[in-house]
Amino acid sequence: MPETLLSVGVLAADLGRLAEELARLEEAGADWIHLDVMDGVFAPQILGDVALFKAVRRLTSLPLDVHLMVQHPERHVAAFEGADWITVHAEAGPHLHRAVAEAKRVGARAGVALNPGTHISGVVALADEVDLVLFVAVDPGFPGARFVPGTLRKVAMLRGKLEDLGASGVRIGIDGGITLDNAAEVAAAGVDVVVSGSAVFKGAGPEENIQAFHAAFGRKE
């Protein structure tokens, strides 16, 4: 099994010192940078935008993972050309295949996100098209929401389906409610990418917390 990666949610950083914060994350060993984009419709808040994306892209060479929590994502994907990964929600419109194709057209690897109440069947149908399935383990746009434990059952279900289809190269991620208290359990469930924001920046900060996450994943630095 490949080692579990940590994608750090940049919205939890001090955006007024964005260059310094990204440099801290790189120095501390972050694997990816994760940017949430919310439109106030699909998710109840308005957060992240194209200007912030361009600033982050300019300031870091780390893989940049953009998570679009917006209605009709196929209309917006092109604005994030330059991202390494673009993830759209299965629930955000009727044209999931088109949104995935658009992400690939602009040179990104394509991800599909699933909310806690969404079955895996829709993304299984696109197993040959997607590079990442991101399980959102909280209701999107509600800060402080608690991790939904049933998400790990969905990880196991999807892993089995992907292996049956010969699509084991599709990565599986989890976003939402991940802290150092449950990171080891999440990694042990077979998750390839863990997204965490506030848990990385709180307390001792990225310099210690990223190493603690890596240790929880069983990584040897």
What is the number of alpha carbons within 13 Å of residue 191 lying toward its C-beta? 30
- Give pLDDT, residue 18: 98
Q: Going by C-beta distance under 8 Å and a sequence separation of 6 or more, which residues neighbour residue 148? A: 116, 137, 138, 177
The first and second tokens of residue 126, run together, are 């696109």
Give the domain CATH number at 157. Answer: 3.20.20.70
Range of the domain at 67: 5-217
Are 148 and 154 in contact, with CB atoms under 8 Å apart? no
DSSP H helices, 94-193, are: 96-105, 121-124, 151-164, 183-188
Are 47 and 84 in contact, with CB atoms under 8 Å apart? no
The first and second tokens of residue 111, run together, are 């991800």
* 183: number of Cβ within 10 Å: 23
Which residues does residue 65 pair with via DSSP β-bridges, in sequence order?
34, 85
Active site residues: 36, 175
- Give pLDDT, residue 43: 87
Overall domain count for the chain = 1
Which residues does residue 38 pair with via DSSP β-bridges, in sequence order?
47, 69
What's the predicted TM-score (pTM) here? 0.95
What is the C-alpha separation between 88 and 93, in angstroms, rounded?
10
User: How far is CA 39 from each of CA 8, 46, 67, rounded to the nearest angstrom?
Assistant: 21, 5, 12
Q: Which residues of 134-157 are buried (b: 16+ CB within 10 A; e: fewer)?
A: bbbbbebbeeeeebbeebbebbee
| One pLDDT digit (tens) per residue for the chain, 221 residues | 679 999 999 999 999 999 999 999 999 999 999 999 999 899 888 889 999 999 999 999 999 999 999 999 999 999 999 999 999 999 999 999 999 999 999 999 999 999 999 999 989 999 999 999 999 999 876 666 788 989 999 999 999 999 999 998 999 999 999 999 999 999 999 999 999 999 999 999 999 999 999 999 998 76
Q: Going by C-beta distance under 8 Å and a sequence separation of 6 or more, which residues neighbour residue 113? A: 67, 69, 87, 88, 89, 90, 133, 134, 135, 136, 175
